[in-house]
Structure 1
Amino acid sequence: MATVRPAVVIADHLGDADRDVSRFVRALHEAGDGRTGVVVLTSDGHRSSVEAAIRAGARAYLHRSHGVDSLLRALRRVAAGETVVTAPRAPQDQDPAGAQARRLVSLLTDRELECLSLLVDGVSTGEMERRLGIATLTVRSHVQSMLSKLGVHSRLEAASLAVRHDLLGARALPSRAG
């Protein structure tokens, strides 16, 4: 009888008896013959836990405060071979400018979010065209729409706003894929 192994496992190490994230990730990874991608979805936002999980082979470390849409975006990025990490969000009442920025970014389409992410990475219009597989005019249209929705006047302002308020949530670390 053939054994089916999942491509990705989403789990929280805080439910584990000893709560050792690196041991937890290695055990899940090994249970999948080393081919199963481990995504840690947790309320643990400690930097040491994040670093230990990634060193142990987790493909993503996601904080629960980002919600389902962020999880789905992160899973798409993991499927594309990226390693994804999100940090806990600041409580909304403690960061009114951040709350406003998050409200504005929620108005963006998926393609506009992709463009914003590429702007944060410093990618040119030509490179966006190549990566997204769309025409230069279409890239410019998405970028202009995104700038308008965010209420900023330049690509630099948009990137700065996104970084300052962690608007992209599931930002990828450099890919570990060869």
Structure 2
Amino acid sequence: MVNLVLGDDHAIFVDALAATLPQHGHRIVGTADNTAGVVATVREHKPDICLLDRYFADGDGLDVIGEILSAGGRTKVLVLTADGDVQGMRDALGKGAAGYVNKMCGLAVLAGALRGVVDGEVVVELAASRTPRLAGTTDARRLASHLTARERQCLRMLVEGAHTTAMAKRLGVAPTTVRTHVQSVLTKLGVHSRLAAASFAMRHGLLDDERMPVAG
């Protein structure tokens, strides 16, 4: 059994997890509904994983990741949040979190993320997607090769968390043009949201090599 501490201020959501996660081999050893309480509960129980919400009444959960890691010793932090902010994900991982999962991804994805964290993986699931996972990075890069140079610029800005207005300003085009480019990116990569496109690009390192051929 994997011991968990749940840090979330939504009581119904916590109750639902407490009722279902034991069926997936997890034991809930403590819960807390504020950041200070999460740190104290982790210090008391030293769980394998702390499931941490992003926002609490007393502050941002990301701000106490370091304290949680210190309090728990070997405890790993998996941020479970309704917030789909790409920069938030980057900040969480930068502070030492082992994963960042959107609550909309569902229980099956969460259970898989927990297994991944236990196995030492860094898990990112920014948004639920009905698109089947590709076999690997080779297939992902094949899809990305169909992006034009402008579409790759848009994809990079999606990874940076930029919104349509900011993208339009940087590119010197109208917001409607940006939306057209972004929709083309989603179609070519086979994803259904901007967050899914950003996650897909980061997972497969699609922007790591700017020399990658692009479509004309």
Normalising by structure 1, we get a TM-score of 0.51
Normalising by structure 2, we get a TM-score of 0.43
Q: Does 1:25 align with 2:65?
A: yes
Taking a change above 3 Å as real, the CA distance of residues 66 and 171 of structure 1, as seen in their structure-2 partners, is farther
- Equivalent of residue 121 in structure 1, options 125, 137, 145: 137
Secondary structure of the structure 1 residue equivalent to 2:59: coil
Q: 1:45: how far off?
A: 1.2
Q: 1:60: how far off?
A: 0.5
Runs of 4+ residues deviating >3 angstroms: 169-174
Match of 1:70 in 2: 109
Q: 1:65: how far off?
A: 0.9
Q: 1:172: how far off?
A: 8.9
**Equivalent residue letter for 1:164:** G
Q: C-alpha separation between the residues in 1 aligned to 2:136 and 2:102?
A: 21
When Rg is computed on C-alpha atoms for both structures, the one with the higher figure is 2
- Equivalent of residue 56 in structure 1, options 95, 108, 112: 95
Q: 1:24: how far off?
A: 2.1
Structure number with the bigger relative contact order (C-alpha 8 A, sep ≥ 6) is: 1
Taking a change above 3 Å as real, the CA distance of residues 85 and 18 of structure 1, as seen in their structure-2 partners, is same
Q: 1:38: how far off?
A: 0.2
Q: C-alpha separation between the residues in 2 aligned to 1:37 and 1:171?
A: 25
Q: 1:37: how far off?
A: 0.4
Percent of aligned positions that are identical: 24
Q: 1:13: how far off?
A: 2.6
Q: Is the 8 A contact 1:74 1:170 kept in 2?
A: no
Q: How many residues align?
A: 112
Q: Is the 8 A contact 2:79 2:99 kept in 1?
A: yes
- Which structure 1 residue ranges, 5 or more long, are not aligned? 90-97, 106-115, 123-155
Q: In the TM superposition, what are the counterparts of 1:118-157 in structure 2 within 5 Å? A: 119-122=135-138, 156=139
Task: Judging by fraction of residues, say which structure has more strand.
Answer: 2
Q: C-alpha separation between the residues in 1 aligned to 2:119 and 2:200?
A: 14
Q: 1:39: how far off?
A: 0.5
Once superposed, what is the RMSD of the aligned Cα atoms? 3.4
Q: C-alpha separation between the residues in 1 aligned to 2:113 and 2:65?
A: 18
- Which structure 2 residue ranges, 5 or more long, are not aligned? 1-43, 144-186, 205-216
**Equivalent residue letter for 1:71:** L
